[in-house]
Amino acid sequence: MEERRLPISVRLLGVMHKEKSKLYMTSVLWSDQNEIVVYRTLEEFRSLHNQLKKKCAASNVGPFQRAVRIVPKFKAEKVKRGLQKSYSKSLLRLKPLEEYCMALLSAHPHVSQSSELSQFLLPRPEDLKPEFSQNSIIIMPSEESLGRSSQLKSDASVTQPFVTQMYRCIASYETKDTKNRPFKVEIGEAVDVLIKDKAGWWLVENEAKCLAWFPAPYLESAEADDEEDEVGESALYVASKSYKSTKIDELSVEIGSVVEVLRKSNDGWWLV
């Protein structure tokens, strides 16, 4: 029997303003070590909370005893600007939403392993489409502004070389830079990639020395070969559907899983 895939960690990366909606960019790390970004509204987070409360309402241990709280409180709706008046409420909700998600994952298995939570965090088809973020404004605050300490700590006496990689944009894309200014890259324009986040958002720098978080699927290496049948050193792809292997030389994958493609073929079966 195959082990069930469960979410084990959640990070709130930023806010996407798309049309009239505000979507929270939620990076989910699963037990199979795949990390996938999904987009959810505040209303969807609230709906999840209500679902879990109803499901766990029957946790009374007796007719004369109070119900045991196993669903954490949802504190993301009531946020105060305080000293951070320059931030919108949607950005201030990132930290309490992340804390709420992590509290759910640390709660009783009735909550942390519930189908409601897993279904909420599973990627939807639109989450996996690179063009989903087109015509939107994305704001990704720094780790420090979210109250996170850097996880990458090194010995102060040791220095490491910092090498950027040049990539070209394969489709026009517009967002905001790290200082909340317009940042637009046209098709074919080159940018330097400084940081590759495994969630799929890379920190890039343009010719004007402006920094912005950019969706990785919109970029290709400027040194990539033009050959389509061979994948050079390899390329990473995201599974848009789950697949169950039927033969010994096939691989089962869950939706949203990241696979490394070593070779493509014309019959539709790739070596991964």
Band of residue 241 on the pLDDT scale cut at 50, 70, 90: confident
Amino acid 264: pLDDT:
77
Highest mean pLDDT among 82-91, 148-157, 247-256: 247-256
Average pLDDT estimate for 79-105? 81
What b/e string do you get for 235-264 counting C-beta neighbours within 10 Å, with b at 16 or more?
A: eeebbeeeeeeeeeeeeebbbbbbbeeeeb
Question: How does the average pLDDT of the chain come out, rounded?
Answer: 79
Cβ atoms of residues 47 and 74 within 8 Å: no
Q: Check pLDDT > 80 for residue 2.
A: no
Band of residue 270 on the pLDDT scale cut at 50, 70, 90: confident
pLDDT, tens only, 153-170:
333 333 334 456 889 998
**23-32, 184-193, 194-203: segment of lowest average pLDDT:** 194-203
Higher-pLDDT residue of 175 and 121 is 121
Amino acid 186: pLDDT:
92
Domains present along the chain, CATH in parentheses: 7-139 (3.30.1520.10), 165-221 (2.30.30.40), 230-263 (no CATH)
Q: Check pLDDT > 50 for residue 3.
A: yes
**54-63, 186-195, 263-272: segment of lowest average pLDDT:** 54-63
